[in-house]
Chains A and B, each alone.
Chain A
Amino acid sequence: MISKTSTFLAGAALALALTSSAFAARTDLTLAIQLEPPHLDPTAGAAGAIDDIVYQNVFQGLTRIGPDGAVLPSLAESWTVSDDGLTYIFKLHGGVKFHDGTSLDAGDVVFSLDRARADDSTNAQKALFSAIASAEAVDDLTVKVTLSRPQGSFLYNMGWGDAVIVAPESADTNKEKPVGTGPFKFVDWAQGSSATLEKNADYWGEPVALDKVTYRFISDPAAATAALLAGDVQAFPSFPAPEAVAQFEGDPRFSVVIGSTEGETILSTNNGKEPFNKLEVRQAIAHALDRQAIIDGAMFGFGTPIGTHFAPHNPAYVELVETYPYDPEKSKALLADAGYPDGFKATLKLPPPAYARRGGEIVAAQLRDVGIDLEIIPVEWAQWLDQVFKQKDYDLTIISHTEPNDIGIYARDDYYFDYHSEAFNKVMAELDATADEDKRYELLRQAQEIIAKDAVNGYLFELPKLGIWDAKLEGLWHNLPVQSNDLSKVHWTE
């Protein structure tokens, strides 16, 4: 016979269990990203949307880039660098398994590095691996990488999404069924609609709080706003509609976090074409640009003005916005000196994003004020890549360069800016060879100053990261030092 007391206690225990589970934080998350990736293998495509889903969550590399841009250990728990900077010895974590059950060993690292730099490799960032001369497995958990020349940025490069470690057994099918070592396993991808990840129960590192994550692809600004308001998605880490942000700012249900990205939005100038090959003309254009007006008009006030090709949140950043301050009169005088007292005509090719189409109208109006008459030509991405980027068939264009720490593009001989500077190339060569952080910062500052003074391009603003998510959600990145939606620290507070 069950006594009344024990029944009561059993009832109380049950009630307690039920209520505590009701108060336990939820463990599922639906977040939205703007673009759908073409596939899910970050080592075979340039689309940032691939990294948005899989970088750090599904795939991991030897190192990783943290939320403030610092290089942190990932699959490699430690490393040593030889004095001449040519030999790196990485010690891998033990007991790491891929999602298909196979173990991670040094052989997989060698395979990944060799695959990325092979002749028939389709890795979009092959340049990251160009300094590697050889990679070999010293033992099961130790990898020795030998460089052909010292490369100060090597550890940072290995933290890119394009440098993640893959297994030979699954490398060929990673595009549809990604198999990595990360805290989340790939479950399903409904093309056009959503992608789902679930917690990896056998993860080698710190356990994550979320059990299930669903990514939805929403590009339309009105649809994005509606989805958040209706609660269909709980987070939009890079919200596509600056015009709608105000709606969320006063709402206690949402957190609005404005951060910075690595996207330098610039007025790219064809330095090889008349009249842009003249320094005075480029300086005149720089004086004619009112950055704040462009930010207010094109980005509804979100965005930081920049004076050079570098992200303001970076510790090596130099404030160079005032190199050529907004001064239309000075601009006209410079144009007259250069031989264009009545200005000149040129074309402005604009790719699809709103920052380019809206910003372009404002830039054209500002340049018209000093006599430069621009014909706006809207182009699609494919046309932009073909005409502007490949064939250099353009005068001016507006584009955001979102690759992190990419100031080195100004040293590339056939890049679409057509800019050649001995001084700059020298600084870049030295930077490549330097591993000491303070020395690197000094060289980066010099590099920024050179291209700012040469007014290679019109430096407009840094793209902001508009993060809007449920007020009860914590752990999402505030800034975007590298394209990622690292979910390892994300949790619900109730």
Chain B
Amino acid sequence: MLSYALRRILIVVITLLAASVIVFAVLEIVPGDPARLMLGINATEDAVAALRQQMGLDQPLVLRYFEWIGGMLTGDFGRSYTYSVPVIDLIRERLVVSLPLALMALALSTLIAIPVGIFSAARRGTAADAGVMAATQLGIAIPNFWFAILLVYVFAIALRLVPAGGFPGWDAGIGKALAALILPAVALALPQAAILARVTRSALLDVLGEDYIRTARAKGLPAGLVLRRHAMRNAMIPVLTILGLQFAFLLAGTIIIENVFYLPGLGRLVFQAITQRDLIVVESVVVLLVATVVIVNFLVDLAYAWADPRLRRR
């Protein structure tokens, strides 16, 4: 188990290093001068040059790369070009919104999807199963931003139960903060739940066809016990993989939902930083997200080893 974990850690480090080089290189060749963008069309050449110097943009590339990497390793992610605040503060402020949102959406989608998947697999071939399949198909097909707008019109405008968007901050009270996150979480959770339900169902069906399941039933174990003790653990591997991927997506892929609900989240930060050519923010956030994905996948790999004892011996 230890050598397995160590091997995976080495892969994590190499991936992160390679990602940082690629991200930095790509963003440096992208056209567009951040200083010119910030000062607008009426600005004089020397004003732009003065700002470039202030932002440190006139230093050589390799030097800037190592300064950036060195800074990141010590926790200093640099200062944003547009906001002039430390990037780490910006990221922290956005994570405070994006992380709870991602976790809520993940929890909701798991709570809906796994029981639905099990239900559907247990009743395979019946009308109930067909109904669930059709519903999940709909869930995958509906664009989540359209669904989000629908939710806003029903729950925020018509019923006035929750705000139409925005995030009041956690100091406004847990109730208010959660109220602002519930609609976006639902809008995000539903399509993910649809996918997860299908994956759960097909993983379970695969496992339920195995010999050892037949043996367990033949020995007289009730169907529910067979499902829980024998089938689920083996069906977990594909489900865990999808969950890991979904979490990474939920953290930064929610730019559209964040726009509809005008939430100050990580996705919107990256998007705005790209349009404003705030290269430092883009580089730091992208590498942070790569790190998150890599680490989450690493944890999923470890979870495989927990779920499947055969992996532990390698």
Contacts and interface: CB of A to CB of B under 8 A. Distances in A.
A216 B275 contact: no
Given A46-B40, A46-B41, A218 B275 contact: no
B78 interface: no
Contact of B275 (A382, A389, A403): A382
A380 interface: yes
A127 B164 contact: no
A413 interface: no
Contacts of A403: 42
A352 B275 CA distance: 10
Given A46-B40, A126-B47, A382 B163 contact: no
Bin the interface of chain A by size.
35 or more
Contacts of A386: 31-33, 36
Contacts of A176: 84-85
Interface in A172-192: 175-176, 190-192
B164 A223 contact: yes
Taking chain A's interface residues, is the majority helix, strand, or loop, or is none over half, making it mixed? loop
Given A123-B47, A175-B84, A46 B260 contact: no
Interface in A107-136: 119-127
B42 A230 contact: no
B264 A223 contact: no
A382 B32 contact: yes
Given A39-B82, A219-B259, A222-B260, A232 B166 contact: yes
B275 A380 contact: yes
Contacts of B156: 226, 230
B163 A230 contact: yes
A194 interface: yes
Contacts of A223: 164-165, 259-262
Interface in B30-74: 31-33, 36-44, 46-47, 50-51, 54
B262 A191 contact: no
Contacts of B276: 38, 382
In this complex, the member of A121, A125, A193, A380 whose beta carbon has the largest number of chain B beta carbons within 10 angstroms is A193
Contacts of A220: 259-260, 262
A191 B157 CA distance: 26
A435 interface: no
16 contacts: A38-B82, A45-B38, A46-B41, A46-B42, A122-B54, A123-B47, A126-B44, A127-B42, A190-B264, A191-B93, A191-B264, A218-B165, A218-B262, A220-B259, A226-B153, A380-B32
Interface of A: 36, 38-39, 45-47, 119-127, 175-176, 190-194, 216-220, 222-223, 226-227, 229-232, 352, 380-383, 385-387, 389-390, 403, 406
